[in-house]
Structure 1
Amino acid sequence: MTTRRGFMAGMLATGLAPKPSWADAGNPAYLSAAKRPDGSYHLYGLDELGAPLFSVPLPDRGHAAAAHPSRPEAVAFARRPGTFAIVLDCISGGIRSRMEAPEGRHFYGHGVFSADGSLLFTPENDYEAGQGRIGVWQAGTDYIRIDEFSSGGVGPHDIARLPGTDTMVVANGGIETHPDAGRAKLNLPVMRPNLTYLDGMGQVTGQIELNADLHLNSIRHLAVRDDGLVAFAMQWQGDGAVHPPLLGLHRDGDDVLLLQAPDDLHRRMEGYAGSVAISSDGGSVAITSPRGGAIQMFDTDTAVFAAELPQGDVCGINAGPEGFVATTGNGTVIHMEQGRVLGAESHRVAWDNHLIRL
């Protein structure tokens, strides 16, 4: 009997079938890496309720993924300082291609496609030079490296694209590392995190740094609203007795706005925001802290603190159908709106740091 997959393969071979889309992979709403109880690592596609639609094996621990804007294809990145990225076919579960960082480089666990999907941009560490680079890969049948340019700083951890454009924003965390030193931070006295805006050719179109007294506040993760407002999450590298803001909002050309919860709640975050998201309606922004075991939400227009939800080992977060969806290392998927938990599901996996919305 002819299977659907065999029939489709034949149609594709003759050029008669339409190109596969995310609908052919079950229309996943999210991607997340996870560890199974047997110790294996997988990339999962999840529906709007957080139920798994598919999983694809990974050779090692993943961090985040980049979803192609039209093809049912995802690039899963190794956790820093990993040197591999796997291009996955989210219909068949097969590996389309494997990317390796050039010698002297490692990935940071994140990447972003150009608006038309023809290029993939990857934040990288040139660890001998102590400088951040952005690799440029042609996203065809094979992912071929065709160019690179400066990230505009040191330690470019995350990268995002402003909607409707090929302008990218890079979270240069400011921390210099070297594989020979593991995850040790080599330049804390002189680190200078920044937020850099780049066009598709790598030209800097804007850049901001935090005040000098916040130079130890590493800018790590990004979320972007439809109108180009950027939210960024930070991780404090200084004295634990100091509790600086962990969330910022910025629009290219404007001043930075820093947000934080009331003191007692803010201190519970332990100087660490693991991920950041903006709600689908754009009215709320949220950060998570796996160290503090909490999700904090703010109004994006007024910058006023709105609510906190305690949640053990929470890190991944993104916009949900209503409010936000978050994931934990305990296997929970939480749905929340305006500080209220709408529902939660448990799965026999440990979700990794990030929840990527398609």
Structure 2
Amino acid sequence: MTTRRGFLASLLAAGSLPALSWADAGSPAYLAAAGEPGGGFALFGLGADGRDLFRIPLPARGHAAAAHPTRPEAVAFARRPGTYALVIDCVTGDVQTRLNAPEGHHFYGHGCFVHGGAVLVTPENRFQTGEGRLGLWARDEGYARIGDIPSGGMGPHDAQRLPGGDVMAIANGGIRTHPAHGRDKLNIDTMRPNLAYVHPTQGVLEVVELDPDLHKNSIRHLSLRGDGTVAFAMQWQGDVADPVPLLGLHRQGQGAPVLAQAPLAEQMAMQGYAGSVSFSGDGSEVAITSPRGGRVHRFAPDGAFIGAVRRGDVCGLAPAPGGYLASDGMGALVRVTRDAARPLAVAERAWDNHLVRLGSA
């Protein structure tokens, strides 16, 4: 049986990789899940211009995907509280394997690769205790489960690897759930979200908490800049009329996060909900979306508000040259720049919550 310690130690002696790359899948710039008119669901590979490059059917609604850094495969996650994920060959469209959460665990719809793509990391809920865990899966062993480690908090929703190593930023949302209660949130009055920095072998390195009066601000999604700056999007579990910050910025080891807010009217228009977060293509700014408020809010890296773009049901957001690519629930892909928001493509589908960028699209 493969063990976590034994497998990670063997990575230093790993052999050469197969030749197949993302170019063999048409060199997609983005991955995104969507609902289709007939009631079905699919994962799409998209060009930088918004064109469909491939379509792979999914058995149920997706949420996000983890793209392998070099090989043309993606792990598509079921929507929380899902208990399975599909490893998809993006060249053939075949499902290579199905990952099942261990008994007593469920996935949160996100994941990332570490150790050069040799290990998949999946944020999970150990729902009998509410403890957040990070599942570890060995890609070259057919995605065999090799263990799990603490996430540093409760409700780890998103995980992203920091540049230049294997330290991960973990968005511990702080919300306790249990499959017996569906998507109900069981601990709003006592929740304690945090941003944690975790290494696959060294464990939890740092935990960053919000002030007590923001303990209902669930940290949900992440975007990373090349210098290691982490942007995190939050979803307020209190009164939606409360104009609380929904964007935070932090660097490992540098104290309290910067919390960014728009002017009052714009902040209230977000309705306490940031769906996605992304740095711009050149890293000079950062933005969050709100499908509930129909807004894209743009900020400078120091947290200063730059401006707002209005777009109904906008949620997906990813870096693009000159700004961002955004997606909405009406099938549109929109290029957002400093000066304008311009539709690139419109299709008969409802894009789900996230756009996943591949490489340096």
Q: TM-score normalised to the size of structure 2?
A: 0.93
Give distance in 2, aligned partners of 1:307 and 1:346: 25
User: Which has the higher mean CA deviation after the structures are superposed, 202-211 or 22-31?
Assistant: 202-211
Kept in 1, the 8 Å contact 2:282–2:321? The answer is no
Where does residue 111 of structure 1 map in the other structure?
A: 111
User: Which has the higher mean CA deviation after the structures are superposed, 338-347 or 35-44?
Assistant: 338-347
- Describe the SS at the equivalent of 2:71: coil
Where does residue 6 of structure 2 map in the other structure?
A: none
Q: How is 1:85-104 mapped onto 2 (pairs within 5 angstroms)?
A: 85-104=85-104
Shift of 1:118: 0.4
Where does residue 159 of structure 2 map in the other structure?
A: 159
Q: Which amino acid aligns with 2:307?
A: A
Where does residue 290 of structure 2 map in the other structure?
A: 289
User: Which has the higher mean CA deviation after the structures are superposed, 147-156 or 335-344?
Assistant: 335-344
- Describe the SS at the equivalent of 2:354: coil
Kept in 2, the 8 Å contact 1:22–1:71? The answer is yes
User: Which has the higher mean CA deviation after the structures are superposed, 271-280 or 201-210?
Assistant: 201-210
Give distance in 2, aligned partners of 1:339 and 1:161: 31
Output one character per residue of 1:305-345: Cα deviation in whole Å (capped at 9) or x when no partner. 11111101110000012200000010000001115124432
- Describe the SS at the equivalent of 2:189: helix
Where does residue 333 of structure 2 map in the other structure?
A: 333
Kept in 2, the 8 Å contact 1:224–1:278? The answer is yes
Shift of 1:202: 5.0
Identity %: 55
Where does residue 225 of structure 2 map in the other structure?
A: 225
Q: TM-score normalised to the size of structure 1?
A: 0.93
Mind listing any 5+ residue stretches in structure 1 that lack a counterpart?
1-16
Structure-2 change in CA distance of 1:215 and 1:103 (3 Å): same
Mind listing any 5+ residue stretches in structure 2 that lack a counterpart?
1-16
Structure-2 change in CA distance of 1:115 and 1:18 (3 Å): closer
Output one character per residue of 1:225-280: Cα deviation in whole Å (capped at 9) or x when no partner. 00100000000001233121000000011121000110011100000000000012
User: Which has the higher mean CA deviation after the structures are superposed, 184-193 or 140-149?
Assistant: 140-149
Q: Which amino acid aligns with 2:264?
A: D
Where does residue 298 of structure 1 map in the other structure?
A: 299
- Describe the SS at the equivalent of 1:267: helix
Structure-2 change in CA distance of 1:187 and 1:18 (3 Å): closer
Kept in 1, the 8 Å contact 2:326–2:334? The answer is yes
- Describe the SS at the equivalent of 1:19: coil
- Describe the SS at the equivalent of 2:19: coil
Q: Which amino acid aligns with 1:161?
A: R
Give distance in 2, aligned partners of 1:173 and 1:329: 24
Kept in 2, the 8 Å contact 1:323–1:335? The answer is yes
User: Which has the higher mean CA deviation after the structures are superposed, 37-46 or 194-203?
Assistant: 194-203
Shift of 1:141: 5.7
Kept in 2, the 8 Å contact 1:223–1:232? The answer is yes
Shift of 1:200: 2.0
Kept in 1, the 8 Å contact 2:241–2:271? The answer is no
Where does residue 235 of structure 1 map in the other structure?
A: 235
Structure-2 change in CA distance of 1:53 and 1:236 (3 Å): same
Output one character per residue of 1:45-83: Cα deviation in whole Å (capped at 9) or x when no partner. 000011110011111110000000110000000000011
Give distance in 2, aligned partners of 1:202 and 1:66: 23
Kept in 2, the 8 Å contact 1:149–1:202? The answer is no
Where does residue 5 of structure 1 map in the other structure?
A: none
1:275 aligns with 2:281: no
Kept in 2, the 8 Å contact 1:299–1:306? The answer is yes
Where does residue 319 of structure 1 map in the other structure?
A: 319
Kept in 2, the 8 Å contact 1:150–1:202? The answer is no
- Describe the SS at the equivalent of 1:286: strand
Q: Which amino acid aligns with 2:349?
A: V
Matched length: 341
Shift of 1:115: 4.1
Give distance in 2, aligned partners of 1:343 and 1:53: 18
What's the Cα RMSD here? Answer: 1.2
Q: How is 1:175-190 mapped onto 2 (pairs within 5 angstroms)?
A: 175-190=175-190
User: Which has the higher mean CA deviation after the structures are superposed, 193-202 or 243-252?
Assistant: 193-202
Give distance in 1, aligned partners of 2:106 and 2:330: 29
Give distance in 2, aligned partners of 1:148 and 1:345: 41
- Describe the SS at the equivalent of 1:180: helix
Where does residue 3 of structure 1 map in the other structure?
A: none
1:349 aligns with 2:349: yes
Output one character per residue of 1:277-298: Cα deviation in whole Å (capped at 9) or x when no partner. 0012111100000000110101
Shift of 1:203: 1.1
Q: Which amino acid aligns with 1:334?
A: V
Shift of 1:31: 0.2
- Describe the SS at the equivalent of 2:136: strand
Structure-2 change in CA distance of 1:91 and 1:180 (3 Å): same
- Describe the SS at the equivalent of 1:147: strand
Spell out structure 1 runs of 4+ moving beyond 2 A: none
- Describe the SS at the equivalent of 1:303: coil
Q: How is 1:139-158 mapped onto 2 (pairs within 5 angstroms)?
A: 139-140=139-140, 142-158=142-158
Kept in 2, the 8 Å contact 1:154–1:173? The answer is yes
